[in-house]
């Protein structure tokens, strides 16, 4: 059974804790959420780990929260309210409902499910998950490059000093 911090209100962001990432939805009311999910009807949600590509097609769906959550833990998480002002609830819901059944692009770094629901709630998309994930990729890349440079330097032998004297 899934757990939650408190009962969601219309317009709330819902963070669903998956094994490797978090899936995000927006609560509409009456037990329903809207979320960005795979355009393939057989796949419940998108993640960077579910495919080797970072870009794909997605579809906006209205579903019962309990169906989207499954056995995963979830919570209301309006964390961006500290730095952004939410739109009026009626506007959030109207915007969300206007996207239902639309096909959209999906990119794990700049057009993911968190970007989508924050765009609905605040009028501007944001994703800490993508920013932190992208930062990790860059950090890992820097470490790999530094390691390659050190390895290359180890194979380059210093000039033979005895030859320089001749």
Say which of 23, 35, 45, 115 is annotated catalytic.
23
The residue annotated as part of the active site, out of 35, 113, 115, 152, is 113
Return the number of other C-beta atoms located less than 10 Å from residue 108's C-beta: 24
* DSSP 8-state code for residue 140: H
Is 35 annotated as catalytic? no
111 secondary structure, DSSP code: B
CA torsion, points 120, 18, 52, 124, in degrees to nearest 10? Answer: 20
Cα angle 101-107-113, degrees, rounded to a multiple of 5: 55
- Alpha carbon of residue 124 to chain centroid: 15
User: Is 152 an annotated catalytic residue?
Assistant: no
Nearest-Å Rg of the Cα atoms of the chain is 22
Q: Which residues are catalytic?
A: 23, 113
């Amino acid at each position: 059974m899934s757990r939650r911090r408190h009962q969601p209100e219309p317009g709330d962001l819902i963070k669903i804790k998956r094994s490797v990432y978090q899936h995000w939805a927006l609560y509409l009311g009456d037990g329903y959420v809207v979320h960005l999910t795979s355009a393939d009807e057989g796949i419940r949600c998108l993640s960077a780990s579910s495919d080797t590509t970072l870009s794909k097609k997605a579809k906006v769906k209205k579903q019962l929260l309990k169906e989207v959550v499954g056995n995963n833990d979830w919570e209301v998480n309006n964390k961006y309210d500290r730095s952004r002002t939410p739109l009026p609830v009626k506007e959030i819901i109207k915007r969300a409902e206007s996207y239902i059944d639309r096909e959209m692009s999906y990119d794990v770094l700049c057009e993911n499910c968190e970007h989508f629901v924050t765009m609905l709630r605040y009028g501007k998309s944001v994703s800490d998950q993508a920013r932190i994930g992208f930062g990790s990729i860059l950090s890992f890349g820097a470490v790999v490059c530094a390691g390659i440079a050190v390895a290359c330097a180890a194979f380059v032998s210093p000039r033979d000093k005895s030859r320089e004297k001749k």
